């Protein structure tokens, strides 16, 4: 005879609800602009690789002004680690400045490199 799963008690449900709500509070979303020699140095690909390792979700895209724009979200520790990488960039990059602002969670499912269409 197969054993059926037991129903959770009210106190157990309250405990699960507090875990999921506290996890949501730990999630952050940052909009990041990186300036310097940050294009044509594999900055986007390197950012994706690091983001994937850290579980950071979002995207990275080159801007027409030569900067790189990133939207990244995840747990604060992962974002802090990601930001450490972004401040340095890959080997050939030279980061002159970095600005970031906190924004609302968008619920990205993965981290993507956005490539602009060449005309």
Domains and CATH numbers, the chain: 27-114 (3.30.70.100)
* Active site (catalytic) residues: 44, 62
Q: How far apart, in whole angstroms, are the C-alpha atoms of residue 59 and residue 70?
A: 6
Q: How far apart, in whole angstroms, are the C-alpha atoms of residue 79 and residue 1?
A: 48
- In this structure, the number of other CB atoms found within 10 A of the CB of residue 28 comes to 17
Q: Which of 83, 81, 85 is nearest to 102 (CA)?
A: 83
The string of pLDDT tens digits covering residues 23-37 is: 455 889 999 999 999
The string of pLDDT tens digits covering residues 79-114 is: 999 999 999 999 999 999 999 999 999 999 999 999
Pair type for strands 57-62 and 27-37: unpaired
């Amino acid at each position: 005879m197969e054993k059926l799963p037991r129903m959770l008690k009210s106190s157990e449900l309250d405990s699960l609800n507090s875990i999921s709500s506290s996890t949501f509070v730990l999630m952050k979303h940052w909009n990041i602009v990186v300036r310097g020699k940050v294009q044509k140095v594999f900055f986007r690909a390197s950012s994706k690789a690091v983001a994937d390792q850290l579980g950071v979700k979002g995207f990275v895209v080159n801007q027409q002004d030569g900067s790189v724009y990133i939207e990244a979200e995840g747990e604060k520790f992962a974002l802090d680690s990601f930001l450490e990488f972004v401040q340095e960039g890959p080997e050939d990059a030279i980061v002159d400045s970095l600005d970031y602002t906190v924004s609302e969670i968008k619920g990205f499912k993965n981290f993507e490199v956005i490539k602009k269409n060449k005309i």
